[in-house]
Every structure is written in structure tokens, then in C-alpha cells.
Amino acid sequence: MAEPSDFSFTLGARMDGAHGRTGTIHTPHGDIQTPAYIPVGTKATVKAVLPEVVKDLGAQAVLSNAYHLYLQPGPELLDLHGGLGKFMNWDGPTFTDSGGFQVMSLGSGFKKVIDMTGPEAQGKVGSDDAVAPGKERLANVDDDGVWFTSHINGDRLRFTPEVSMTIQHQLGADVMMAFDELTTLHNSRGYQEESLERTRRWAQRSLDEHARLTEQRSHRPYQALYGVIQGAQYEDLRRKACRDLREMRAEFNGVEAGFDGYGLGGAFEKENLGTIVGWCAEELPEDKPRHLLGISEPDDLFAAIEAGADTFDAVSPTRVGRTGAFYTEYGRINLPRAEFAADLSPLQDGCDCYTCANYSKAYIRHLIKADEILAGTLMSIHNLRFTVRLVDDIRQSIIDGDFHEFKDQMLGRYYNQQKRPV
């Protein structure tokens, strides 16, 4: 019978003077060595890359989106296949988010979560009705749930904590997220407080429905549920959210249990990432894993890990790859530049990825200029491998006790504080 004890987290090495640590997340579909980068496969695919290749690149799990899979092809079909992993031919652990991100992205139209303070926000900060220029509101929140307007066909859709839990159980992911409301940096303090209380109530409803569905679907492997922490950039709200979620319980087959882990969500300025993760690490139980939802660049990875994040997802490696940029130890580079037109070297010397072993900058640049789909595949392979390898190296540096030295060296090179060799 499926039960919470089928999922666990084992602590490993700890960093001196920081919350960073290594560990192992044990799931029914395999272990995840942490800290770990989780590639994003929104619609049951990491864009432009075969699942088998994602695994070969060293990725330990993938994350998909409950809202998008609800629209296409529908969770019932994935359930029929035996879950997300079997559906997409991925035999490792899987994560799903709850639809909470779409509450923000379809509601206000803003796509960025970290550092949502660019030109598009001018004149709108503090407005609870802020909508990005050229966008219309496709999500409307009330205390019971959210009405979505499908961006595909205009259908009106109702999401509640119970609906989100039903969808995610049908998707069959090893790790699910409680339904939450993602606010923006434009919302007032008053709205952040109101939203946090709504998210707290939704979290308890998610946990209760998760317990009911776990018992009902005992023929399936146990699926872990993470409570999601909101509170924007307010320390008191973040800490309150952690304490509230930490204390929540539901009854699983006569035994009380809480959340299996915690998701750190919400909007914040980039420079506050480590501080906010650190507040949460101080409040959350040490024996439960922490997942940071949606981060980006190498400095974000170091900040998150040092502050206590165990896993994190990011679309950046594949997204920037499809737009012609690739990662190197000396920074992110745009391949369409003319200087690479006859460059026969790989994207990065010494890289062990398939792309660098077989193709030159000149060839891949040609594919980009010719608008060939293969360009996105080759660039994404390299960027995924770069990110997975970087996090593997960070994990090893924590074990070896030289995290800070490795961080200074790597970020010094990446952000051009050290010169690229000629």
C-alpha cells in the first residue's frame, strides 16, 4: 500500500557557516543526489531533446507542468499510461508543479519571477491589478480557487486545490506541489498578506485531498507532496509561511503526516534570492527536502545551494539554447555573431557533451542562420550538460569542503573577472 514512508530524504555533508548541504531524496522511481538541477519538461518533454539523451547528460529527474498537461493531452491519458514517466519514456523520478505559476503568468501576464522589476513594470509597482503591456487577464482568483481562460481555445477552466491534486495524482509524478497563488512584486503588502492566508488554506486542502487520493489510489506508487512557500520579499511573511506549512497534518490510513518537502516559490529580486532561501532554511525541518521553483543563471545556483536549496528547476538552458546562446566556463556567448562563421572548434573545449564531441561552432551557427531545428537540439544538449555538470561539481565541492573556493573561481571566470584564454 502506498504511504508517506515510501518517500524520504537522507542528509549528507553540511557546509560550515551556511545552510547548504548534500543529501539523497529516495523516491519510488529512484534516488536523487542533492543538490540537483531538475530540467524542465513542461509538456512531458524537455524541448528539442530526447528523454534518453537528457538521462545520458546526467539529469536525475524532470519537472512537468500540471496546467499545460491538463489542457493537452489530459491527465486521464497519462494515468492510463501509468503516469508521466512511462508516457514520456523517462524511467527516473518526476516532479510536477501545481498550476500556481499560471495564476500569475496568465493573470498578470508577467513571465519573469526573479527580478520582476524591468521597464515593463514601470508605473505599476504596488498595483494589485497590474497587467503586463499587451496582455489580458486570463486567470481570476477567489478564495476557493482560480478561473482560467484557456490560451488554446478560450474555454473557461476551474482549478481548486482538490482539482490540482486530482490532476497531479493522475499525472503520477514522484513529487507534486500544493496548489498556491503566485503573486508578483507589483502587489501591495496588503495583498501579499491576503494571498498568503489564501495559500495557507489551499495548502491544508491540498494535503487533505492528497491523503484521500493516496488511500484511494493505493495501487499506484506513493507520490510525495511539497507545501509551497510564498510571501514575496517580506521576511515575516516568508517565515510565517514556513511555520504554517511545517505544522500542517493530514491523516493517511490512520496515521498523521505532514508535507514530504517544501517548494520555495514566489517573486523576488535576484539579489535577495539567497537571503530568502536562507530565511526558509532556518524555519523548515532539516530532514525534509527543499525545492526552489524556477531559477536561472550560475550565480543563482550558487546562491540557492549555499542558502539551503536541495533541488531547483530552470528553463534557461534549453530556452537560451533555442535562441542561439551557449554556456561556457567564461560566460554565456551568442553563437550567431560573425566571428564564429568559420570557427571549427567545439562550443567549449574539454566539454564532454555529444554536441561538443561531434560539431563545430561554424556548423551550428550555420544551422541557426538557416533556421534549422537541429540547432536548438544541439545547443540545448550542451547547455543542459553544462548546468548538470556545474551542479555536480558544486555538490562535490560541498563534500570536499572547498565550496567557497570553487564558487570564487567559477564565478570569477564566468562573469569575466578572469580573462578568457586566447
Q: Which residues are annotated as a binding site for Zn(2+)?
A: 351, 353, 356, 382
Q: Can you read off the three cell numbers belonging to residue 94?
A: 518526476
| Phi, psi (deg, nearest 5) at residue 333 | -125, 140
How many helices and strands (H and E) does the chain possess? 15, 18
Going across the sheet that includes 156-159, the strands are 139-141, 146-149, 156-159
Binding residues: 97-101, 180, 230, 266, 351, 353, 356, 382
Residue from 79, 144, 313, 371 carrying the catalytic annotation = 313
Distance from C-alpha of 384 to C-alpha of 40, rounded to nearest angstrom: 10
Instruction: Please say if 313 is a catalytic residue.
Output: yes
Please say whether the beta carbons of 309 and 18 come within 8 A: no
Residue from 6, 56, 97, 352 carrying the catalytic annotation = 97
One-character DSSP codes across 287-322? TS-EEE-S--SHHHHHHHHHHT--EEEESHHHHHHH
Binding residues for substrate: 97-101, 180, 230, 266
> 311-314 and 250-252 as β-strands: parallel, antiparallel, unpaired?
unpaired
Distance from C-alpha of 161 to C-alpha of 181, rounded to nearest angstrom: 11
Instruction: Please say if 97 is a catalytic residue.
Output: yes
Pick from 111, 94, 116: which is nearest to 311 by CA? Answer: 94
Please say whether the beta carbons of 356 and 386 come within 8 A: no
Instruction: Give the residue numbers annotated as catalytic, written as ranges.
Output: 97, 313
